[in-house]
Copies of this chain bind each other. A is one copy, B any other.
Amino acid sequence: MTIQEPVTARPAGRPRSEKAEKAIIEATLDLIGEGMGVSELSIEAIASRAGVGKTTIYRRWSNKEDLVVDALSTLKAPLPVLGGVSVRDDLISLLDAMRSEAGQARSRCVMNIAMSEADRYPRLMDRFMKRAVVPRKEAMRAVIERGIGTGELRADLDVDLGMAILSGAMLWHTKWGPAGDLAPDLAERVVDAALAGIAAGTP
Protein backbone atom coordinates (compact mmCIF):
# COMPACT_ATOMS: atom_id res chain seq x y z
CA MET A 1 0.00 0.00 0.00
CA THR A 2 1.02 3.61 -0.53
CA ILE A 3 2.23 5.82 2.27
CA GLN A 4 -0.21 8.68 2.46
CA GLU A 5 0.03 12.20 3.74
CA PRO A 6 -2.02 12.57 6.91
CA VAL A 7 -4.64 15.28 7.09
CA THR A 8 -3.86 17.65 9.94
CA ALA A 9 -6.88 17.67 12.18
CA ARG A 10 -5.60 19.98 14.91
CA PRO A 11 -6.41 23.66 14.84
CA ALA A 12 -3.38 25.75 13.96
CA GLY A 13 -1.86 27.49 16.97
CA ARG A 14 0.04 30.75 16.79
CA PRO A 15 3.59 29.83 15.82
CA ARG A 16 5.16 31.42 18.92
CA SER A 17 2.99 29.34 21.23
CA GLU A 18 3.34 26.05 19.38
CA LYS A 19 6.19 24.76 21.46
CA ALA A 20 4.45 25.59 24.73
CA GLU A 21 1.24 24.02 23.45
CA LYS A 22 3.03 20.81 22.64
CA ALA A 23 4.64 20.76 26.11
CA ILE A 24 1.23 21.30 27.74
CA ILE A 25 -0.39 18.49 25.73
CA GLU A 26 2.50 16.14 26.54
CA ALA A 27 2.35 17.03 30.24
CA THR A 28 -1.38 16.30 30.28
CA LEU A 29 -0.92 12.91 28.63
CA ASP A 30 2.03 12.08 30.91
CA LEU A 31 0.02 12.78 34.03
CA ILE A 32 -2.97 10.75 32.81
CA GLY A 33 -0.61 7.94 31.79
CA GLU A 34 0.89 7.95 35.26
CA GLY A 35 -2.53 7.18 36.65
CA MET A 36 -3.74 10.64 37.57
CA GLY A 37 -7.48 10.62 37.04
CA VAL A 38 -9.21 13.49 35.30
CA SER A 39 -10.63 14.64 38.63
CA GLU A 40 -7.19 14.81 40.26
CA LEU A 41 -5.63 16.48 37.25
CA SER A 42 -5.19 20.21 37.80
CA ILE A 43 -4.08 23.10 35.64
CA GLU A 44 -1.42 23.73 38.29
CA ALA A 45 0.00 20.22 37.97
CA ILE A 46 -0.01 20.42 34.18
CA ALA A 47 1.65 23.84 34.16
CA SER A 48 4.30 22.64 36.56
CA ARG A 49 5.04 19.51 34.52
CA ALA A 50 5.10 21.46 31.25
CA GLY A 51 7.29 24.19 32.68
CA VAL A 52 4.89 26.96 31.74
CA GLY A 53 2.74 29.38 33.68
CA LYS A 54 -0.95 28.73 34.26
CA THR A 55 -1.82 31.78 32.19
CA THR A 56 -0.13 30.20 29.18
CA ILE A 57 -2.54 27.30 29.49
CA TYR A 58 -5.56 29.52 30.02
CA ARG A 59 -4.66 31.59 26.96
CA ARG A 60 -5.29 28.50 24.86
CA TRP A 61 -7.81 26.43 26.86
CA SER A 62 -10.56 27.88 28.97
CA ASN A 63 -10.77 24.83 31.20
CA LYS A 64 -9.28 21.46 32.03
CA GLU A 65 -11.90 19.51 30.11
CA ASP A 66 -11.13 21.29 26.84
CA LEU A 67 -7.45 20.56 27.35
CA VAL A 68 -8.05 16.87 28.08
CA VAL A 69 -10.23 16.48 24.98
CA ASP A 70 -7.48 18.09 22.86
CA ALA A 71 -4.77 15.99 24.49
CA LEU A 72 -6.61 12.70 23.99
CA SER A 73 -7.40 13.63 20.40
CA THR A 74 -3.70 13.92 19.59
CA LEU A 75 -3.37 10.20 20.39
CA LYS A 76 -5.66 9.31 17.54
CA ALA A 77 -3.98 9.00 14.18
CA PRO A 78 -5.29 11.59 11.73
CA LEU A 79 -7.73 10.32 9.15
CA PRO A 80 -5.71 9.11 6.17
CA VAL A 81 -6.35 10.59 2.77
CA LEU A 82 -8.11 7.90 0.76
CA GLY A 83 -7.39 7.10 -2.85
CA GLY A 84 -11.07 6.72 -3.58
CA VAL A 85 -10.45 4.13 -6.28
CA SER A 86 -10.18 0.67 -4.77
CA VAL A 87 -12.34 -0.13 -1.75
CA ARG A 88 -9.76 -2.70 -0.66
CA ASP A 89 -6.98 -0.08 -0.66
CA ASP A 90 -9.09 2.45 1.20
CA LEU A 91 -10.06 -0.07 3.87
CA ILE A 92 -6.39 -0.96 4.33
CA SER A 93 -5.53 2.74 4.71
CA LEU A 94 -8.20 3.20 7.38
CA LEU A 95 -7.18 0.10 9.32
CA ASP A 96 -3.52 0.92 9.02
CA ALA A 97 -4.16 4.26 10.71
CA MET A 98 -5.64 2.30 13.63
CA ARG A 99 -2.58 0.08 13.69
CA SER A 100 -0.12 2.95 13.79
CA GLU A 101 -1.78 4.60 16.76
CA ALA A 102 -2.39 1.40 18.71
CA GLY A 103 1.23 0.45 18.25
CA GLN A 104 2.29 3.14 20.68
CA ALA A 105 2.40 1.77 24.21
CA ARG A 106 1.72 5.12 25.86
CA SER A 107 -1.18 5.80 23.57
CA ARG A 108 -2.80 2.48 24.51
CA CYS A 109 -2.22 3.03 28.21
CA VAL A 110 -3.50 6.62 28.34
CA MET A 111 -6.52 5.72 26.25
CA ASN A 112 -7.39 2.79 28.52
CA ILE A 113 -7.15 4.96 31.61
CA ALA A 114 -9.20 7.75 30.04
CA MET A 115 -11.85 5.32 28.81
CA SER A 116 -12.20 3.91 32.32
CA GLU A 117 -13.34 7.37 33.39
CA ALA A 118 -15.97 7.62 30.68
CA ASP A 119 -18.76 6.92 33.16
CA ARG A 120 -17.63 9.73 35.44
CA TYR A 121 -17.05 12.26 32.65
CA PRO A 122 -19.75 11.58 30.10
CA ARG A 123 -19.63 15.08 28.57
CA LEU A 124 -15.86 14.99 28.14
CA MET A 125 -15.95 11.52 26.62
CA ASP A 126 -18.83 12.45 24.40
CA ARG A 127 -16.83 15.35 23.01
CA PHE A 128 -13.80 13.16 22.55
CA MET A 129 -15.85 10.55 20.72
CA LYS A 130 -17.39 13.18 18.46
CA ARG A 131 -14.01 14.69 17.72
CA ALA A 132 -11.81 11.63 17.33
CA VAL A 133 -13.88 8.49 16.95
CA VAL A 134 -17.00 9.42 15.02
CA PRO A 135 -15.11 10.85 11.99
CA ARG A 136 -13.21 7.61 11.45
CA LYS A 137 -16.33 5.50 11.88
CA GLU A 138 -18.07 7.66 9.31
CA ALA A 139 -15.13 7.41 6.93
CA MET A 140 -15.22 3.62 7.12
CA ARG A 141 -18.98 3.57 6.74
CA ALA A 142 -18.67 5.70 3.59
CA VAL A 143 -16.07 3.37 2.07
CA ILE A 144 -18.16 0.28 2.80
CA GLU A 145 -21.27 1.89 1.35
CA ARG A 146 -19.27 2.88 -1.72
CA GLY A 147 -18.10 -0.73 -2.06
CA ILE A 148 -21.64 -2.02 -1.92
CA GLY A 149 -22.57 0.52 -4.58
CA THR A 150 -19.72 -0.39 -6.92
CA GLY A 151 -20.25 -4.12 -6.43
CA GLU A 152 -16.87 -4.65 -4.76
CA LEU A 153 -18.73 -5.71 -1.61
CA ARG A 154 -21.78 -7.95 -1.23
CA ALA A 155 -24.99 -6.19 -2.13
CA ASP A 156 -26.67 -7.51 1.02
CA LEU A 157 -23.82 -6.62 3.39
CA ASP A 158 -24.92 -5.07 6.67
CA VAL A 159 -22.67 -2.02 6.95
CA ASP A 160 -22.35 -2.21 10.74
CA LEU A 161 -21.39 -5.85 10.51
CA GLY A 162 -18.70 -5.05 7.95
CA MET A 163 -17.33 -2.31 10.21
CA ALA A 164 -17.41 -4.66 13.19
CA ILE A 165 -15.42 -7.36 11.41
CA LEU A 166 -12.81 -5.00 10.01
CA SER A 167 -12.30 -2.61 12.91
CA GLY A 168 -12.96 -5.35 15.45
CA ALA A 169 -10.10 -7.47 14.16
CA MET A 170 -7.76 -4.52 14.72
CA LEU A 171 -9.27 -3.81 18.13
CA TRP A 172 -8.83 -7.46 19.10
CA HIS A 173 -5.13 -7.30 18.28
CA THR A 174 -4.65 -4.29 20.54
CA LYS A 175 -6.62 -5.88 23.40
CA TRP A 176 -6.05 -9.59 23.30
CA GLY A 177 -3.48 -10.19 20.61
CA PRO A 178 0.16 -11.09 21.11
CA ALA A 179 2.08 -8.45 23.05
CA GLY A 180 4.37 -6.07 21.23
CA ASP A 181 4.13 -4.20 17.99
CA LEU A 182 1.40 -5.01 15.54
CA ALA A 183 2.73 -6.55 12.33
CA PRO A 184 3.26 -3.94 9.60
CA ASP A 185 1.04 -5.90 7.21
CA LEU A 186 -1.75 -6.53 9.73
CA ALA A 187 -4.25 -4.14 8.13
CA GLU A 188 -3.76 -5.71 4.72
CA ARG A 189 -4.13 -9.24 6.07
CA VAL A 190 -7.27 -8.34 8.01
CA VAL A 191 -8.88 -6.71 4.98
CA ASP A 192 -8.04 -9.61 2.67
CA ALA A 193 -9.32 -12.22 5.14
CA ALA A 194 -12.51 -10.23 5.73
CA LEU A 195 -13.08 -9.76 2.01
CA ALA A 196 -12.53 -13.39 1.04
CA GLY A 197 -13.96 -14.96 4.18
CA ILE A 198 -12.42 -17.65 6.32
CA ALA A 199 -14.48 -20.56 5.02
CA ALA A 200 -12.94 -22.87 2.48
CA GLY A 201 -14.24 -22.14 -1.02
CA THR A 202 -16.57 -24.58 -2.71
CA PRO A 203 -14.50 -27.46 -4.06
Contacts and interface: CB of A to CB of B under 8 A. Distances in A.
Interface string A103-138: 000000100110111111000000000000100010
Copies of this chain held together in the complex: 2
- The A contact surface, by secondary structure, is helix
A169 interface: yes
Interface stretch (A40-48, A72-80, A147-155): A147-155
B175 A169 contact: no
A197 B200 contact: no
B113 A116 contact: yes
A93 interface: no
Interface stretch (A12-20, A49-57, A59-67, A160-168): A160-168
Interface of A: 35, 109, 112-113, 115-120, 133, 137, 151-155, 157-158, 160-165, 167-173, 175-178, 189-190, 193-201
Contact of A189 (B35, B158, B189): B158
A161 B199 CA distance: 13
Nearest to A159: B198
Given A112-B115, A155-B200, A171-B175, 9 more contacts: A112-B119, A116-B116, A162-B193, A164-B173, A165-B169, A165-B193, A169-B169, A194-B194, A194-B197
